[in-house]
Structure 1
Amino acid sequence: MKREQALLQGHREKASKHRRIRVKRRNVVILALSMFVANVAFGMAFPYLSVYMQYLGATMFMVGLLSVAFNLTSTVFQYPFGWLSDATRNRKGFIAFGAASIGLFYAVMPFTTSPLQVLVLRTLQGAFGSAMTPAHSALISELSTKAGSIFGLFNSIENAGYMVGNFVGSVVVEYLGIKSLFVISGLLLFLSAGIVILVRERPAGRRGLIGMILVQEGRESWRATVRGSSFVKLMRGHLGLFYLTVFLVMVASGQFYSVSSVYFKRAFGEWSVGVLFGIESLAAALSGYFLGRLIDRYGAKRFYLVAIAGYAFAFVLYAIVRNVWLAFGVAFLSGIKWILTINSTSAYVAQNVGASERAQGMGLLNAMMSLGWVVGPLIGGYLSGISFQVNFISTTIPLGIAFLLALRLPE
């Protein structure tokens, strides 16, 4: 009798394990499809935001504020949304809310009549859209124990979607106009939000958001809720040092990419802008999964250091290269360093932050990236007024500091 019960229990456990594997695989497919569609929308709309601003009569200063405003509000709201995602044990809900919010503001953009209105909508996109990123990264990390591989897979898929969006966007603008582009992008993001709702999450331990927000009796209840935040804990020790290095790397990134389109247009011709960005996305899509597997095998820190060095190498090469064909090669290298940065930093957080705080950890990672993109464009805009070359080469300063600090991180 005991033997039969043991066998029955073994079969039940085996069946339960197979069910969990099937659910995880299904979730991977659903999330991948949702994020591919979302990135097609991003790839369509984002490159034409500055063009639309100028179409409405914006100055270059106003165009530059698009990046600063979006990333500033994104920085502020990334961590709170990550905390809410952890507290409610809800990933897909926040991903859907963020995607739908960005889609809504894109769909409204064709009805704007001034650059200031576009700037306001972009600011709101940064605030509400930031609900998406920490929950998205946390959910990916929960789909596999091999953090590097799973992030590599999704980064390849998402970069492929962005690249498709680049090409589709140019066709839409040519035949339907720039206003139609934003409407279509908005609809695609609504579709992405609808798809991700199909993800199956484990309900165990989930707390409702309404129950969290309702006024609780006594101050001690509120204090207990606030203590659920792990901000101070995550910013201490080696993780705090890690987040500082990410901020410095993104300062350099913001210095370069906030003015790169103008530089490419002047140096190689207007036609080269889309091609160079397309090559970067292509390189990221092709190498993402392979690099993710290498990160699992050899460690995230090692590849993060390579990525930082790759930033410095790529930006210096962009400063000195004058031949467009050589620039294509630099763009391919630049795409690899970007996907390597995303894979290694995401894997590092996934490997060093517990599951109950994962979205907060990812939220801080995204917040540091966004904050770097608040500071970087301000520096880049000023230095590029002196010389593009001075700006590009000066990125080696924050990158060099980040590299030296990253050497102190534990494996």
Structure 2
Amino acid sequence: MRRERALLQGNREKAGKFRRLRIKRKNVFLLGVSAFLANAAFGMAFPYLSVYMRLIGGTMMMVGLLSVAFNLTSTIFQYPFGYLSDSTRNRKAFIALGFFSTGFFYATMALVSTPLTLLALRTAQGALGSAMMPAKSALIAELSSRIGSAYGLFSTVENAGYMVGNFLGGFLVGRVGIRGIFLLAAALLALSSMMVLFIRERPRPRRAPRLPLLPQEGRESERVIFSGAAFRRLTRGSLGLFYLTVFVVMLASGQVYSVVSVYFGEKFGQEWVGIIFGVDSLAAAVSGYHIGKLIDRYGAKRFYLAAIAGYGATFAGYALAGSPYLMLAVALLSGLKWSMTLNATSTYVAERVRANERGQAMGLLNAMMSLGWVVGPLIGGYLSGIGFSVNFLSTLIPLGLAFVLTLGLPE
């Protein structure tokens, strides 16, 4: 009788493990497909936002303000949405909200014809769209104990979607126009938001353990701690310095990518905008998973340093490449450095914070990225009025500073 009870208990445990594994695989599939579709929508629409602003009469300063307004509201709302994601223990609702609201505002943009209205919609899009990033980053970390590989896998999926969207946008823009591109992107985002709602999140214990836990099979993050002490813990010491370097790197990024679509269009023609961005995304998609595995083996800091150097080489290439084919080679480098940036920064933070504060930590990481894109486009819009090459090469100053600061961070 005792032997039979032991066998029965063993069978129940095996069945439970199999059930948890099946749920996990289904969650990975649903999140992966929804992320692919959402990023395809982003890849279609985003490269043409600045072009659209110019077409409806906006100045280069208004082009820069598109990024400033979006990232300002995104910066403000990232951390609160990360807190809500932790406290409600409901990641999928915030991911779905971010996807759907982003699509709604793209659909509305297709109906406007004045620069100020477009700017207002982009501002609101930044506020509500920011709901998805902390929750998605935290959920990815909770799907695997090998965090770098998990981020690498989803980086590959998301960049593949973005690449498809870039190429689709370049192919379709001459046929349906930019307004049509926005409407197609909105439809894809609505579909992706519905798919996310089918993810099954397991209930998490309401009382957090005393010691921090790394996410493992069948265990997700515990009760959130939202207090002044928690915020100070995330922003002081080496982690606070790391957040500062992310801000500086993204400041340089904002200088360039807020205006580079206009630069590509004026230099090579609008059809090349989607192609160049597509090659960029292709490189990021192909390399993402492999870079994630290497980060698990060799550490996030090394790849973050390589990413910063890659930014400098990419922006110098933008300034110096004289033909679209040379620019495609620069785009390959650009995709590699973005893949390293995304995977290395997410892994560095996820491995250094408590599981019950991971949503807030990721929200703060995304806020620093967005804040860089608040300041950077203002500088980029001004310097691009002097000359695009002046703007691109000037980024070597903040990137050099970020590289030196990162050297002092712990492994």
TM-score above 0.5: yes
Match of 1:138 in 2: 138
Match of 2:118 in 1: 118
Match of 2:169 in 1: 169
Match of 2:213 in 1: none
Pairwise mapping of residues 6-405 of structure 1 onto structure 2 (< 5 A)? 6-205=6-205, 227=227, 230-405=230-405
Does the 8 Å contact 1:89/1:205 carry over to 2? no
Structure 1 Cα separation of the partners of residues 193 and 134 of structure 2? 15
1:271-318 Cα offsets, whole Å, 9 max, x none, are 433222111111011111111111111111111111111111222233
- Opposite residue 341 of structure 1, the aligned amino acid is T
Match of 1:210 in 2: none
The structural deviation recorded for 1:266 is 4.3
Does the 8 Å contact 1:304/1:344 carry over to 2? yes
Structure 2 Cα separation of the partners of residues 110 and 271 of structure 1? 20
Match of 1:410 in 2: 410
Does the 8 Å contact 1:155/1:289 carry over to 2? yes
The structural deviation recorded for 1:370 is 0.6
Structure 2 Cα separation of the partners of residues 54 and 357 of structure 1? 42
The structural deviation recorded for 1:226 is 5.2
Does the 8 Å contact 2:63/2:259 carry over to 1? no
Classify 1:329/1:186 alpha carbon distance in 2 versus 1 (closer, same or farther; 3 Å): same
Structure 1 Cα separation of the partners of residues 173 and 261 of structure 2? 18
Match of 2:5 in 1: 5
The structural deviation recorded for 1:3 is 4.2
Identity fraction in percent = 65
What TM-score does the superposition give when structure 2 sets the normalisation length? Answer: 0.91
The structural deviation recorded for 1:354 is 1.9
1:240-263 Cα offsets, whole Å, 9 max, x none, are 111111001101111122222233
Structure 2 Cα separation of the partners of residues 278 and 166 of structure 1? 5
Moved more, 47-56 or 134-143: 47-56
Structure 1 Cα separation of the partners of residues 383 and 251 of structure 2? 13
Give the SS at the match of 2:145: coil
Unpaired runs of 5+ in structure 1?
208-223
What TM-score does the superposition give when structure 1 sets the normalisation length? Answer: 0.91
Classify 1:170/1:393 alpha carbon distance in 2 versus 1 (closer, same or farther; 3 Å): closer
Classify 1:50/1:83 alpha carbon distance in 2 versus 1 (closer, same or farther; 3 Å): same
Moved more, 183-192 or 104-113: 104-113
May I ask how many residue pairs the two structures share in their alignment? 395
Structure 2 Cα separation of the partners of residues 18 and 358 of structure 1? 27
- Opposite residue 143 of structure 2, the aligned amino acid is L
Classify 1:268/1:170 alpha carbon distance in 2 versus 1 (closer, same or farther; 3 Å): closer
Structure 1 Cα separation of the partners of residues 36 and 45 of structure 2? 14
Does the 8 Å contact 2:110/2:182 carry over to 1? yes
Classify 1:153/1:113 alpha carbon distance in 2 versus 1 (closer, same or farther; 3 Å): same
Structure 2 Cα separation of the partners of residues 226 and 278 of structure 1? 40
Match of 2:215 in 1: none
Structure 2 Cα separation of the partners of residues 362 and 33 of structure 1? 22
RMSD: 2.0
- Opposite residue 253 of structure 1, the aligned amino acid is S
1:118-177 Cα offsets, whole Å, 9 max, x none, are 111110000001001110111111111111111111111111111211222244433333
- Opposite residue 288 of structure 2, the aligned amino acid is G
Does the 8 Å contact 1:245/1:405 carry over to 2? yes
